[in-house]
Amino acid sequence: MLPQPTPEPAPLNLEDPRASAVAKRAFFKIADLWGLSSDDARLLLGQPGRSTFFSWKKGQGGSLSRDEFERVSYVLGIYKGLQVLFPDNPQADAWIKKANEAFGGRSALERMLGGNVSDLHAVRTYIEQVRGGRS
Compute the mean pLDDT over every residue in the chain, rounded to the nearest whole number: 89
Residue-wise pLDDT for 41-94, tens only, equals 999 999 999 999 999 999 888 899 999 999 999 999 999 999 999 989 999 999
Q: What is the pTM of this model?
A: 0.86
Cα distances from 102 to residues 16, 17, 107, 130, in angstroms, run 37, 37, 9, 11
In terms of Cα–Cα distance, which of 32, 14, 33 is closest to 23? 14
Long-range contacts of 55-58 (CB under 8 A, 24+ apart): 56/24, 56/28, 57/24, 57/28
Cα–Cα distance, 71 to 68 (Å, whole number): 5
Question: Residue 14: pLDDT above 50?
Answer: yes
Alpha-carbon distance of 70 to 49, in angstroms, equals 18
